[in-house]
A = this chain, B = another copy of it.
Amino acid sequence: MSTLYEQLADSLAQRIRDGGLQAGERLPSVRQACAQAQVSPATVFQAYDLLESRGLIEARPRSGFYVRKQARGKAPPAQAEPARADSTEVAISELVFEVLHSTRDRDVVPLGSAFPSPTLFPLERLARDGARAMRQLAPQALTTELTSGNARLREALRARSVRQGLQVGPDEPIITNGAMEALNLCLQAVTRPGDVVAIEAPTFYAALQALERLHLRAVEVPTHPQLGVDPDGLAEVIARHGVAACWLMPGFQNPLGALMPNARKQAVMRVLTQAGVPVVEDDVYGELHHGSTRPLPLKALDRESLVLHCSSFSKCLAPGYRVGWALPGRHSHAVHKLKMMSSLATSVPSQLALAEYLEEGGYDRHLRQLRLTLANSLAQLRQLVLRHFPAGTRVSQPEGGYFLWVQCPEQVDTLALHHQALAHGISIAPGALFSADQRFRSAMRLNGGHPHDARIAQAVRWLGDRARSAMAG
């Protein structure tokens, strides 16, 4: 599906990551590259543009393209944090509530936000599409298509899912109020109060909240900042704790941005299959790959119907519409029942706007543009952090999504920093949100999904200064 220039950019990006092309090294001239790759000059230019927007190379006037320097000593951490031996009760919701609430002030610099800028979405077209579809709707459809969702939207999602290599049963997908509801319903379908659930460390705080709400216990599995959850660690945790289910995010994990390689996904599926443990897969960032290929969902490797796959349109197309979906495999009936019991159905106006949009076409064109924009703004944010934060800071280098995971030196307490920053009109997502214990107290998640502007530059500089002060004293 990827174009020639995207393939060329991907292979160059791989060489930069491998060290085959070193920081400061000059890339082949356009003429050389044409000859090497057997492509046209236009293709090379487009590939170099793409790499520049992803922050990997820089143009120097009258000289050519060079691999961008990543500030010294600031590589992402090579090792995941060790996990605690015990399972723990979860009580994170009050902190999450407080932090999220505070970041919803429109005047605050939204580095702590979970959403990319809403200006990046085709909101006018969605409004138009929704109005047209609602006018044409047979009134009866308002009360007959309740729990499982609108037939047109389900059909469009089924087709997309099949193209991604997923098996879709006749009762799938089940449309939900955003991925949040899908994840919650799926987790509830495979657990009972008191059960132990394996989660990543760090993990998306919604997983912690879901565990708290359902009276479940958490056991955290070491998770590599680039490669995702450790299959051996997962096996050990399952063996030791009698885990009832897992909650994983193999594609552009929140907050790390980790993209699990396919071989690692296969290893994880082997572990889960052997133990017969179901896994709730959160794939909401899967479409936001910066490279040319969409990561394979865990569910595409699932032979035993152990994966309950969840996603949504909230980060890719339609924030605020609250439309997500679940592909729960053999747990579909249970999830369907839970959906009926907890919220009955999903907004028909929201579903119809999306059905109409998807049928008209143009979603993939929109995604292509969105990925470029996000890759660019994330790369810019990363450069700012590298420039302004103290030595010893480690910064993730995600290949998708729009989050940056920043690990400050241990003297920095990001929860304290969050309070100071908020008083200064800046939000961050402190590390404490992403674990049931205190081990990420010096880390933070920053949102790179907003177009670069002076306010953001000043905010990062201010954060870096405060981090430096914290180290000094």
Contacts and interface: CB of A to CB of B under 8 A. Distances in A.
Interface of A: 93-94, 96-97, 100, 104-106, 113, 115, 117-119, 121, 123-124, 126-128, 130-131, 134-135, 137, 139-147, 176-178, 180-181, 184, 188, 192-193, 206, 209-210, 212-213, 215, 319-323, 336-338, 340-350, 353
B345 A342 contact: no
Given A135-B124, A321-B349, A343-B343, A337 B94 contact: yes
A143 B100 CA distance: 11
Nearest to A192: B215
A186 B139 CA distance: 31
Contact of A342 (B104, B105, B184): B184
B140 A118 contact: yes
A343 to B, nearest CB: 4
Oligomer copy total: 2
A142 B105 CA distance: 12
A180 B342 contact: yes
B142 A320 contact: yes
A347 B347 contact: yes
Contact of A106 (B140, B188, B346): B140
Contacts of A141: 320
Interface centre among A124, A135, A212, A348 (most CB of B within 10 A): A348
A338 B212 CA distance: 10
A343 B213 contact: no
Contact of A177 (B97, B320, B343): B343
Nearest to A318: B142
Given A123-B139, A135-B124, A349-B349, A181 B342 contact: yes
A343 B178 contact: yes
A280 B119 CA distance: 40
Contacts of A210: 341-342
A97 B337 contact: yes
Contacts of A213: 188, 338, 341-342
30 contacts: A93-B337, A93-B340, A94-B337, A96-B340, A100-B147, A104-B145, A105-B144, A106-B144, A117-B139, A118-B142, A123-B137, A123-B139, A127-B131, A130-B131, A131-B134, A142-B319, A177-B346, A178-B343, A178-B344, A180-B343, A184-B342, A209-B341, A320-B347, A322-B344, A322-B346, A343-B343, A346-B347, A347-B347, A347-B350, A349-B353
